[in-house]
Amino acid sequence: MFKGSIVALITPFKDGEVDEGALRKLVDWHVEQGTHGIVPCGTTGESPTLSHDEHKRVTDIVIEQCDGRLPVIAGAGSNNTREAVDLTEHAKAAGADGVLHVTGYYNKPSQDGIYQHFKTISDAVDLPIIVYNIPPRAIVDISPETMSRIADLKNVVGVKDATADLTRPSKEQMLIEGDWCQLSGEDGTALAYMAHGGDGCISVTANVAPKLCSEFQEACMAMDFKTALDYQHRLMPLHVALFLEPSPGGAKHAAETLGLCSAELRLPLVPPGAATKETINGALRHAGLLN
């Protein structure tokens, strides 16, 4: 259902507000550059610091601007199940192609609690759901066994896997019958994830290198891993540099450097330091994105 290079889109700000004009230009640029899909209002989109109205407005804008040219997987995650249902209902009404849902960060549910969270969302709204498993941010890990239970829910179609455990795609394939969309959530290990049977990557690096990330994914999907490795060598310094300090500070600095939008963040995030900025600029030059 979803495949290739799917950008975890940054949310551009200007003078403390969502920069709607820049957001629309970013969407058009991703279409032009060959991106295969867009995720607004994820972690990279600074969803924790968007108000509910802003969250829904950003989702509306991205869907409207895409106008069917790219699939939109709307970030709708919350550790409050009722809020997650509300955001999912809005995404469906707005015309999203799917939603991305994280599990219970901070309140740290049990494996059964995680299952019940996704079951409640799946029962409430008829829209494809991608499960986002990211233990470093959510504290809890969705075990392969629990993922198999979740995969049986009627609207759950796949996973965004940011565990960095490259045995996960194979383990989940052993347990899950039928179609199951497996998306990497980590740029640096996406090559290996694809070799284990993945379908694509929800990518931070694609914010600033969409064409390269798209071509990398197309090589992987064609099983041309020699070509994909060439792209990996070109992109790996950027994958690393963008996460030297809390994301999306690095991605927004790179975006501003490339003239895409302002690097403005919302607290508690702050801009990366001078040394990190120079490392990011060097990685952009290494990738051939900056003279």
Q: What domains, with CATH codes, occur in the chain? A: 4-224 (3.20.20.70)
pLDDT at 98: 98
Which alpha helices (DSSP H) does the chain contain, by range? 20-33, 52-66, 81-94, 111-124, 135-138, 144-151, 168-175, 190-195, 210-221, 225-241, 249-257, 274-286
The residues pairing with 72 across neighbouring beta strands, listed in sequence order, are 38
Model pLDDT for residues 216-256, shown as the tens digit of each residue:
999 999 999 999 999 999 999 999 999 999 999 999 999 99
C-alpha span between 188 and 173 (Å, rounded): 22
List residues bridging with 159 in a β-sheet: 131, 182
Q: What is the spatial distance between Cα 74 and Cα 68, in angstroms, rounded to a whole number? A: 14
pLDDT at 289: 98
Q: Which positions are annotated as active-site residues? A: 132, 160
Q: What are residue 181's DSSP bridge partners?
A: 158
The pLDDT, as a whole number, for residue 1 is: 82
pLDDT (mean) for 158-169: 96
pLDDT of residue 69: 98
Q: Which helix (H) or strand (E) holds 38?
A: strand 37-39
pLDDT, one tens digit per residue, over 188-210 is 999 999 999 999 999 999 999 99
